[in-house]
Copies of this chain bind each other. A is one copy, B any other.
Amino acid sequence: MPETNRLYFVPLSEIRILRDEINDLFALAKILAPILRINILYMIKRAGSGHIGTSFSSVDLMLWLWLNAMNRPNENIPNSDTFFSSKGHDAPALYAVLTALEKLPFELIHKLRKLGGLPGHPDIHTPFIATNTGSLGMGISKAKGMAIANRLNGNRARIFVLTGDGELQEGQIWESLQGAANRNLSEIKVIVDLNGIQSDTLVSQTNNMSPLCKKFESFGWRGFVCNGHDFENIQECLNQMDKEEDRPQVLFARTRKGHGVPFMERVDDDGLYKFHSGAPSDANYPLALEHLVTKANDELAGISRPELKLAAEEPAVQPPVNTPARETVISAFGKALAELGRREEGLVVLDADLAVDCGLMPFKKEFPARFIECGIAEQDMVSVAGGLARKGKIPVVNSFACFLSARPNEQIYNNATEDSKIIYVGSLAGLCPAGPGHSHQSVRDISALRNTALSIVQPLNGIQARELLLWAAVENSKGSYIRIANTPVPEELANISMGKEIKPGWSTNLIPGHQALILSYGQTITYEAYRAVLSLKESGVEVALDHMNWLNLFDFGWIEKIVGPFPLIIVIEDHYRTGGLGGNLLPAIVEAIQYVPKFAIVGLEEVPACGRNDEVLKYHGLDAGSLIQKIKQLL
């Protein structure tokens, strides 16, 4: 067995020999299947994050499509078939296929979720990626657009769309189906990676969607079922599907999440599935590798070929991690939510299949009757909250900020017109973690929710998460949006409270100074600003740093007393430069003091890059080093 402190992959040379020497594509696929999984495991372990379960369940389907089933896939020429994954978080599987088939430079397997490498979710700036996905449910609609465009150009090339089974909970899926049938778009072939497990647990435990085939057929589609790990069976079904001339088709490919590594195929005794996202632990990595290598070597032995020769890499050097506080913001929020549940009987918590990531497990365990799991159905969740509020409850609505601010944007406004007190909590807010890519980087939520009558607030640490939740639930008579960043809180910022008395529209001073006032929010960017300001202080530049919890609410007294005296205000956004704290604050300053000090906004100016947090912060000029330069220039 290989050494455990190194990471192993199957090099292109080995794969090339197999591709050259094994003529039977079914035989080749069978041996490539574990090999691609070894490389997926490598990519995700090296990246430190990624979706392994779904990559393992879908890689056989992707392999077969690209190896044999499709006609000149994704070449962007007439009559070339198109493939993309609508769920998108299976990108490592697609990358493993594309690198093995030399559609992508093989070296990219070392650069998953790295700047300039392979993004966490599919992006068209990578060759052979047909469309951007990662936010769920858009795939069939996009396929319809592609098919209609093809038809206008006189061709009926096939469009293969891979979806998840949890993804089918999204309303857009069902919104998209009937039109495809009514237009007789038989070139659309949807393949459902039917692994039965979504982000947290079984689909059947989240929002059971069966009978799926009946559902699709009631929308005019033709349904097929196959074993998604059996290449002959997949091909048989694809052949049958091609005979359908006037209806789009859906293939329910029964798969196992984590397929190939037995301990990754199971839901745990606590009911949770542990391998949806995140890299395998140092303990699990060699065990998983061994399963896959054994499987590959068994397959090779079966066709009398020598054992695999693996290549090894040192684990990627991770940037130095500053001492993080023991408690993350999200875990503090989750504990506070459960505590609040004891006090406020009317509190009801809603989730859209992100209960673990959004810190909801303590509440769910303690108050199962007041925990409403909606599945991946954000619009439904928000309007359910609206109904609860109309009947006197206080709903707390959770999802990732990128989804929560956008997918149910109109539903949130509708609730706002009812003066409802609803607490929306958007996790994973801001530029980091930057590994998942732009579908998950929530950098426009402040502007998207600007006019929905919500107080938009963000904590700096766990203590403030608790303080703001209490404020939203008890003090604030209207709705709130609590924006939570899921990066570690550095020890230096971990113990700063908002004070005994919460003062809406006031900032908290972190570092005194007089040459300028820096305003930032959330631990991610504030820590960069914090280090920048301390470093400037060492060189004699005295700028103040304040943390701002209130992103669209400013006390005029605070503007007069704190902001007014400074000759220069610099707002540093964990958001696009426009429509964030700075964009909200500037008109308030003008209104409050009829005068504007020198004012600058530093923030994101383009679609955020994917990569390691430190790389991406630097790339966008938001790391401490870049901030030092910018502040100096502005002074």
Contacts and interface: CB of A to CB of B under 8 A. Distances in A.
Contact of A590 (B377, B379, B386, B586): B586
A392 B170 contact: no
B451 A390 contact: no
Interface in A196-211: 207-209, 211
Contacts of A28: none
A141 B384 contact: yes
A461 interface: no
Q: Give the one of A152, A215, A374, A587 with max B CB within 10 A.
A: A587
Given A173-B171, A179-B375, A393-B152, A145 B607 contact: no
Nearest to A596: B596
A179 B374 contact: yes
Residues of A contacting B: mostly = helix
A175 B377 contact: yes
Contact of A179 (B138, B182, B377, B453): B377
Contacts of A552: 578
A145 B383 contact: yes
Contact of A407 (B178, B375, B410, B590): B410
A193 to B, nearest CB: 19
A601 B586 CA distance: 12
Contacts of A450: 444, 447-448, 450, 576, 578-579
A278 interface: no
A411 interface: yes
Given A179-B207, A583-B583, A172 B383 contact: yes
B590 A148 contact: no
A298 to B, nearest CB: 41
Contacts of A587: 578, 582-583, 586, 599, 601
A259 B592 CA distance: 57
A224 interface: no
Contact of A175 (B150, B379, B600): B379
Given A172-B380, A594-B598, A596-B596, A578 B152 contact: no
Contacts of A172: 171, 379-380, 383, 411
Contacts of A211: 218
Contacts of A218: 211, 214-215, 217-218
Interface in A132-190: 132-133, 135, 137-138, 141-150, 152-153, 169-176, 178-179, 182
Contacts of A171: 170-176, 379
Contact of A169 (B146, B175, B416): B175
A40 to B, nearest CB: 24
Contacts of A169: 175, 178
Given A141-B383, A175-B169, A443-B451, A146 B407 contact: no
Q: Give the one of A141, A145, A211, A578 with max B CB within 10 A.
A: A145
A182 B208 contact: yes
A33 B273 CA distance: 57
A152 B347 CA distance: 11
Interface stretch (A123-131, A512-520, A524-532, A537-545): A123-131
A148 B372 contact: yes
A402 B173 CA distance: 22
A370 interface: yes
A409 interface: yes
Interface string A416-429: 11100000000000
B584 A586 contact: no
Given A171-B379, A407-B409, A594-B598, 7 more contacts: A145-B391, A146-B387, A146-B390, A179-B375, A444-B450, A450-B579, A451-B579
15 contacts: A132-B418, A141-B380, A144-B384, A149-B392, A169-B178, A172-B379, A172-B383, A172-B411, A178-B375, A217-B218, A552-B578, A582-B587, A586-B590, A590-B596, A594-B598
